[in-house]
């Protein structure tokens, strides 16, 4: 994949991910309005996080990180890629079918693992009930991730990137239908909303799987249900995937620790979830898009012995990632209150909820560049089928995160969970960068990246100062219901214009580069 195609693939995935995140905001705004940060909201959020946590291990965080490089080599080498994909599809489906049944049976234990602070409260019983309905999602979404890996490895990004949009569309439809057909103001009404959302989860998984299966079939890879077979290649795949399970899902593991800490503070699970949605927007659009496109590209280049091309792809991916992420990080840190109040403060979501969520947003903003850098650094290891070292780094990061989150929680409360996540993100980046020293020049930052990084930071800091001044002047407008949406839009627009203007003047990037890649 040439640099131009790399950037084109990035923007394809990024734009669809942006649409998914926007729909996710609509979804969470509606959930916050209906449920606020009450027991039903916290119970559903924990129930929904369980299949998403495990999918990071079984699919995106492990299986795909091992599967994509192996599959890419078969595609490039004209080996039987279809047979390998079919065996992996059936093998993963068989394992996850058994795991889904076990998870549904032992749901009380899983909820306790996720949020032991719920024990003895109504939140626990609700989370178990919703969890049993939602948990089969892990089967559908993991198979979706595998099929997405097939599509991405063959240079087809659209269907895989568009599939997540369906999840949020189905959530929004479920909320609208339920809101129109029942009285959702009291506890009983909120419980119905929670149940409706729980049933929407597996339904969305089926829809996502259908979309990517059809796309894979059109690409020449028709994968079918069958009996699993243990082949030498699948054994090798499992050996590679086992350590990647933790390495690829380290952010989710750290969030698990954060939720466990937050469950002991009433409302904190919801505060962290809504804050998570805000920083996941730039992380999803930039970091995940780069990770999805970069891994198969690096795998092909390493197979061809193109070390120079691999280094250029890595540097340009890191450059564009930070050019879009650092200003988002600064914005989250300097204007979290206007963002949260305008987006979420309505209905059952109060001003106290806004203050707590805004604090978490600012802390997560500090770690955002680290989360994105992990997405560009990890493919350097996975493309070489090296999953052991990221595994060891993840272990260190997990211990550090637990120590920070648990150790600081008695002193500073729920915010300790967010602090642990952000600081651990930077620790993981340092460990990954140290690990790349043995990879030669292909994993080093070039002179252009270093020069532009300094200018990107300066442009972002200038934008931050402008945002602080503008937000202070516009503060009265954020309190007016009919004006606050326009005020926030204007504030965001000022931030975007000031950053790209300063960045262009300082030479951090060229606006023509963005326009050219967007056109392609």
Please give the pLDDT value at position 249: 56
The reply to whether 352 and 458 lie within a common domain is no
How is residue 486 written in tokens? 């326009």
Average pLDDT, the chain: 82
Q: What is the pLDDT of residue 515?
A: 61
What residue has token string 């595998």? Answer: 146
Per-residue confidence (pLDDT) for residue 97, from 0 to 100: 92
List Cα–Cα distances, 278 to 153, 389, 471, in angstroms.
Answer: 29, 31, 18
pLDDT band at 291 (very low <50, low <70, confident <90, very high): low
Torsion angle, alpha carbons of 192, 198, 199, 202, to 10: 170
Check whether residue 464 and residue 479 sit in a common domain.
Answer: yes
> Looking at residues 390-403, what average pLDDT do you find?
86
Backbone angles phi, psi at 186, to 5 degrees: -90, 180
**What share of the chain has pLDDT > 90, as a percent?**
33
The domain boundary, picked from 445, 468, 501, lies at 445
Same domain? 394 vs 491:
no
Residues 499, 328 contacting (CB under 8 angstroms): no
Angle between helices 268-282 and 307-334 (to 10 degrees): 130
- Do 265 and 403 sit in the same domain of this protein? yes
Confidence check: pLDDT of 1 > 50? no
The average pLDDT across 471-480 equals 90
Query: What tokens appear for 185 in the block?
Result: 């103001």
Task: Note whether 404 and 460 are same-domain residues.
Answer: no
For residues 431 and 372, the answer to whether their CB atoms sit within 8 Å is no
- Can you read off the two tokens belonging to residue 461? 């800091």
pLDDT for the residue 502 = 94
pLDDT, mean of residues 249-257: 66
Same domain assignment for residues 172 and 314: yes
Strongest mean pLDDT among 65-69, 298-302, 414-418: 414-418
> Is the Cα dihedral 188, 136, 283, 117 positive or negative?
positive
The alpha carbon dihedral of 292, 294, 297, 301 has a sign of negative
Residue 23 to residue 166: CA distance in whole angstroms: 9
Do both 362 and 456 map to the same domain?
no
pLDDT higher than 70, residue 243: no
Spatial CA neighbour of 11 closest among 467, 317, 271: 317
Among 445, 468, 485, identify where a domain stops: 445
Of 316, 309, 313, give the one whose Cα is nearest residue 509.
316
What total of structural domains would you count in the chain?
Answer: 2
What is the token pair recorded at 345?
Answer: 């403060």
Domain that holds residue 173: 3-445
pLDDT at site 371: 87
CA 20 – CA 161 distance, rounded (Å):
9
How many angstroms separate the CA atoms of 425 and 406, rounded?
16
Tell me, what's the pLDDT at 439? 79
Confidence of residue 392 (pLDDT cuts 50, 70, 90): confident
The two three-digit tokens of residue 441, written as one number: 């020049």
Q: Which residues of 355-371 are buried (b: 16+ CB within 10 A; e: fewer)?
A: ebbbbbbbbbbbbbbbb
Distance between CA atoms of 489 and 502, rounded to whole angstroms? 20
Alpha-carbon distance 197 to 171, whole Å?
A: 6
Instruction: For residues 199-221, give the mean pLDDT.
Output: 90
Q: How many CB atoms lie within 10 A of CB 407?
A: 11
Angle at which helices 63-76 and 289-304 pack, to 10 degrees? 40
Are both 184 and 148 inside the same structural domain? yes
Q: Which of 481, 480, 372, 478 is nearest to 432 (CA)?
A: 372
Query: What are the tokens at 366?
Result: 């500090």
CB 287 within 8 A of CB 372: yes
Query: What pLDDT shows up at residue 8?
Result: 59
* Ranges 72-86, 236-250, 301-315, 393-407: which has the least confidence: 236-250
Name the band, by pLDDT with cuts 50, 70 and 90, for residue 300.
low
228 neighbors 394 (Cβ within 8 angstroms): no
Summarize the confidence of residues 100-109 as an average pLDDT: 94
Is residue 411 over pLDDT 90? yes
pLDDT of residue 297: 66
CB neighbours of residue 180 within 10 Å: 8
User: Residues 204, 56: one domain?
Assistant: yes
Residue 295 has pLDDT above 60, yes or no: no
Instruction: List Cβ neighbours of 320 (8 Å cut-off, separation of 6 or more).
Output: 7, 10, 286, 290
Question: What is the pTM assigned to this prediction?
Answer: 0.73
Residues near 489 by beta carbon (within 8 Å), at least 6 away in sequence: none
Domain boundary among 421, 445, 469: 445
- Asked if residue 455 and residue 431 are part of one domain, the reply reads no
Residue count of the chain:
520
CB 255 within 8 A of CB 276: yes
Helix then strand then coil, in percent of the chain rounded to 5, is 85, 0, 15
Query: HEC states along 406-424?
Result: HHHHHHHCCHHHHHHHHHH
CA-atom Rg of the chain in angstroms: 22
* Same-domain pairing of 421 and 457: no
Residue 454 has a pLDDT of 94
Position 210 scores a pLDDT of 92
| Model confidence band, residue 298 (pLDDT cutoffs 50, 70, 90) | low
Higher pLDDT, residue 12 or 46: 46
Least confident of 106-110, 158-162, 202-206, 515-519: 515-519
- What tokens appear for 493 in the block? 């627009």
Same domain, 489 and 429: no
Per-residue pLDDT, 4: 46
Choose among 169, 189, 233, 464: nearest CA to 333. 464
Q: Are 397 and 309 in contact (CB under 8 A)?
A: no
What would the pLDDT profile of 316-350 be if each residue is shown by its tens digit? 778 888 888 899 999 999 999 999 999 888 878 88
Confidence of residue 354 (pLDDT cuts 50, 70, 90): very high
For residue 307, give the nearest of 432, 443, 418, 203 by alpha carbon: 443
| pLDDT band at residue 520 using 50, 70 and 90 as cut-offs | very low
In Å, the largest CA–CA distance within the chain is: 66
Instruction: Tell me the percentage of the chain whose pLDDT exceeds 70.
Output: 82
Confidence of residue 9 (pLDDT cuts 50, 70, 90): low
């Amino acid at each position: 994949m040439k640099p131009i195609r790399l950037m084109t693939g990035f923007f394809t995935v990024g734009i669809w991910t942006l649409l998914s995140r926007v729909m996710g905001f609509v979804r969470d705004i509606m959930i916050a309005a209906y449920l606020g940060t009450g027991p039903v909201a916290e119970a559903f959020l924990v129930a929904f996080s369980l299949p998403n946590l495990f999918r990071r291990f079984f699919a995106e965080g492990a299986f795909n990180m091992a599967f994509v490089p192996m599959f890419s080599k078969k595609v490039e080498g004209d080996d039987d890629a279809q047979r390998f994909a079919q065996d992996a599809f059936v093998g993963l489906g068989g394992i996850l079918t058994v795991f889904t049944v076990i998870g549904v049976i032992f749901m009380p234990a899983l909820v306790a693992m996720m949020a032991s602070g719920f024990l003895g409260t109504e939140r626990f019983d609700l989370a178990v009930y919703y969890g049993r309905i939602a948990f089969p999602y892990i089967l559908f979404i993991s198979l979706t991730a595998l099929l997405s890996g097939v599509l991405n490895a063959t240079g087809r990004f659209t269907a895989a990137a568009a599939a997540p949009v369906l999840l949020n569309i189905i959530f929004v439809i479920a909320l609208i239908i339920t809101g129109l057909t029942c009285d959702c103001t009291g506890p009983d009404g909120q419980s119905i909303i929670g149940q409706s959302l729980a049933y929407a989860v597996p339904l969305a998984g089926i829809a996502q799987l259908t979309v990517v299966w059809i796309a894979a079939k059109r690409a020449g890879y028709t994968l079918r249900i069958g009996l699993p077979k243990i082949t030498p290649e699948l054994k090798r795949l499992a050996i590679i995937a086992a350590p990647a399970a933790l390495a690829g899902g380290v952010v989710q593991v750290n969030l698990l620790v954060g939720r466990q800490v937050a469950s002991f503070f009433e409302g904190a699970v919801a505060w962290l979830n809504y804050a998570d949605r805000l920083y996941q927007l730039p992380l999803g659009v930039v970091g995940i898009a780069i990770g999805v496109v970069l891994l198969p590209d690096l795998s092909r280049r390493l197979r061809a012995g193109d070390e120079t091309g691999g280094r250029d792809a890595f540097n340009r991916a890191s450059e564009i990632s930070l050019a879009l992420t650092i200003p988002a990080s600064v914005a989250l840190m300097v204007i979290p209150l206007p963002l949260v109040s305008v987006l979420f403060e309505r209905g059952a979501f109060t001003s106290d909820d806004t203050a707590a969520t805004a604090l978490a947003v600012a802390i997560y903003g500090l770690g955002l560049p680290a989360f994105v850098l992990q997405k560009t650094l990890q493919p350097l290891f996975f493309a070489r089928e090296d999953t052991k070292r990221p595994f060891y780094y993840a272990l260190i990061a997990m211990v550090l995160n637990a120590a920070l989150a648990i150790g600081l929680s008695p002193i500073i409360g729920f915010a300790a969970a967010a602090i642990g996540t952000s600081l651990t993100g930077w620790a993981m980046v340092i460990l990954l960068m140290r690990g790349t020293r043995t990879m030669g020049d292909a994993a080093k930052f070039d002179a252009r990246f270093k020069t532009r990084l300094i200018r990107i930071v300066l442009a972002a800091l200038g934008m931050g100062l402008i945002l602080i001044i503008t937000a202070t002047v516009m503060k009265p407008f954020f309190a007016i219901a009919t004006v606050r949406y326009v005020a926030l839009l204007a504030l965001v627009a000022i931030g975007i214009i000031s950053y790209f203007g300063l960045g262009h003047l300082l030479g951090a990037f060229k606006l023509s580069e963005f326009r050219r890649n967007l056109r392609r």
